[in-house]
Amino acid sequence: MKILSKTGDEILLLAVTNDFANKGDYFVIEDFNNNKKLLVQFYDEEYFSSSSIVEEIIKDEVISKFSTENIFDPLEITNLSQTIRDVRIFKTKIRASIDNENQISTDVDWVPSRVNSKIVKIGLNEIKALLKKNMQYPISLGKCGSDNQNFEIFAEDLDGKLNIITGKKETGKSHLSKILINSLMQYGAYVIVFDLNNEYSGLSCNVDGMPSSISDKLLLLNPGRELKFNLTYFGKPSISNMLKNALDMPSASLREFFRIWDSLENKKILSLFELGKAFGTWTINELVRDALLSRFHMINSSRLFSSNNVNERGFQFEDVIKTKPKGAAMIVNMSRISPVVRRMIVELVMNKLIELLEKSLIPPIFIFAEEAQLYIRDTYWEDLITRMRHFGIYSTFITNQPDAINDTIYRQVDNIFLFNFTNDSDLEKISKVSLVDSSTIKSLVKTLSHRNCLAIGKAVSNLPMVIKIKPVDMLTLGETKKFFK
């Protein structure tokens, strides 16, 4: 294998028949003149083509079509010619340089020699040795590279980070998120999952029907049953944010809501029942009254709040932390509720978590937002994402519509796990905000098979990796229901 050319950060390698690599594999180009090394990633290949080779192929095809003679070839010229026609070009991108102390650096200000360079394929274990990660909580994701070596990231790579898992439907997005949730819980982390398809409840059981190793750490929360709050638990700021962001309450109505809330709170009779009663009897403009009453009926029908019992404790996040000191996952089942109630739940949960974290009443929380495109509100999430890591909320968005997430959120992303996409506009959206070039993403992602993903970002030390996600013993659910089995 030899260097053919270099343009920008792309190096073309000349490969003969015996040279083989899978897309995503890495090579080291060692320049003996300068005693330097380059780490490059193979992302695509094509035949070496010239006018003379094309002419030869045409001539051979014509001759074989009209001639039946066996040509005597003692020097095996034909074999040599056929080998030349099979010569390929490996397209690679420069990812880093390697100094004399085997340290990886992004400084690449030199060009390797075409003549005095040696090119060798490097495996995952050698890359790990170069990265020298000193972390304690590994998360095994599956296999990587043409040699199928075990691949792992670390829980520390998700701690304090914003992640996106995206790809077409049925490519394995939720499967990966369940592996991450399982590992985080085993290391004692607290996770909240917004589950739109009721598929995460299967984590409590193994495939054989027996309880899984994390079954005692799972809390399945159904709105109106296990997930039912006391109104006073949230307070006026969280409820008003819900009214504004989830229920589109006008400003004039919000001002009256504040007055009514304060009055009931001072009388120590604040409850959902008393709020509804006050909305109907308070001396206010009729349009404002209609706005307040319509929102009250939405809140009441959601069954998220106890109606009349002021002293009823309801669900509280602090209680979960106290009763499960070694980590837990709160699975919020949003499969059978309306889109409006989904947004209400997300607004309430996020506002309350921020309040608790600011007061240091709970440890940092990992949020997994399944089908995030259905309830992310730009005006709210843009502001929240920029400050989220300071609060202690570390989010992972799982979506099959990358264009539904705003650019402001993308620019904050630390890790992207990218499954198969064939739509160029989706891939362009991601390549604009990732550290990886568009040509690499398009070439690698379009050919990914089921449960294979391209990992980009800090979790892989900014060295893109193609990973075959491993199966798990737990019930993952989430499969498409079909009529024809």
Amino acid 427: pLDDT? 82
Six-digit token string for 470: 């491993």
Amino acid 245: pLDDT? 87
Instruction: Please compute the mean of the pLDDT values over residues 410-434 and round it to a whole number.
Output: 83
> Quick check: helix, strand or coil at residue 190?
strand
Instruction: Please compute the mean of the pLDDT values over residues 355-368 and round it to a whole number.
Output: 92
CA-CA distance, 12 to 94, in Å (whole number)? 11
CB within 8 Å of 409: residues ≥ 6 apart: 162, 376, 381, 382, 385, 397
CA-CA distance, 12 to 359, in Å (whole number)? 56
Query: Where is 55: in which H helix or E strand?
Result: helix 51-66
Which amino acid, 358? E
Of the ranges 46-50, 129-133, 211-215, 365-369, the best mean pLDDT one: 365-369
Amino acid 379: pLDDT? 58
Report helix angle 272-281 to 251-266, nearest 10: 120
CA-CA distance, 376 to 404, in Å (whole number)? 9
CA-CA distance, 86 to 19, in Å (whole number)? 11
Query: Where is 255: in which H helix or E strand?
Result: helix 251-266
Amino acid 40: pLDDT? 93
Cα dihedral 279→281→285→289 (10° resolution): 30
What would be the CATH architecture of the domain defined by 2-48+87-131? Answer: Beta Barrel (2.40)
CA-CA distance, 423 to 442, in Å (whole number)? 9
Report the CATH superfamily, name and number, of domain 138-227+315-469. P-loop containing nucleotide triphosphate hydrolases (3.40.50.300)
Half-sphere exposure in the Cβ direction for 399 (13 Å, CA): 21
Amino acid 308: pLDDT? 65
CB-CB contact of 199 with 174 (8 Å): yes
Is the pLDDT at 263 greater than 90? The verdict is yes
Six-digit token string for 167: 């790809």
- Residue 79, φ and ψ in degrees, nearest 5: -60, -40
Amino acid 417: pLDDT? 93
Amino acid 183: pLDDT? 92
153-201: per-residue pLDDT in tens?
999 999 989 899 998 888 888 889 999 999 999 999 999 999 988 888 8
Instruction: Please compute the mean of the pLDDT values over residues 29-49 and round it to a whole number.
Output: 87
Six-digit token string for 342: 């989904």
Instruction: Please compute the mean of the pLDDT values over residues 344-348 and round it to a whole number.
Output: 91
211-246: per-residue pLDDT in tens?
888 888 999 999 988 999 988 899 899 999 999 988
CA-CA distance, 396 to 372, in Å (whole number)? 9
Confidence of residue 34 (pLDDT cuts 50, 70, 90): confident
Q: Can you give the length of the chain in residues?
A: 485
Report angle CA 170, 182, 327 to the nearest 5 degrees: 145
Calculate the alpha carbon distances from 280 to 91, 113, 251, 267, 277 in Å.
Answer: 70, 83, 19, 18, 5
Confidence of residue 364 (pLDDT cuts 50, 70, 90): very high
Six-digit token string for 46: 């094509």
Instruction: Please compute the mean of the pLDDT values over residues 38-52 and round it to a whole number.
Output: 84
278-337: per-residue pLDDT in tens?
998 888 889 999 999 999 999 999 999 987 665 678 899 999 999 999 999 999 999 888
72-129: per-residue pLDDT in tens?
556 555 566 666 777 888 999 999 888 877 888 888 888 888 888 899 999 888 888 8
Which amino acid, 367? I
Six-digit token string for 336: 């059978």
297 alpha carbon, distance to own chain's centre? 36
139-158: per-residue pLDDT in tens?
999 998 777 889 999 999 99
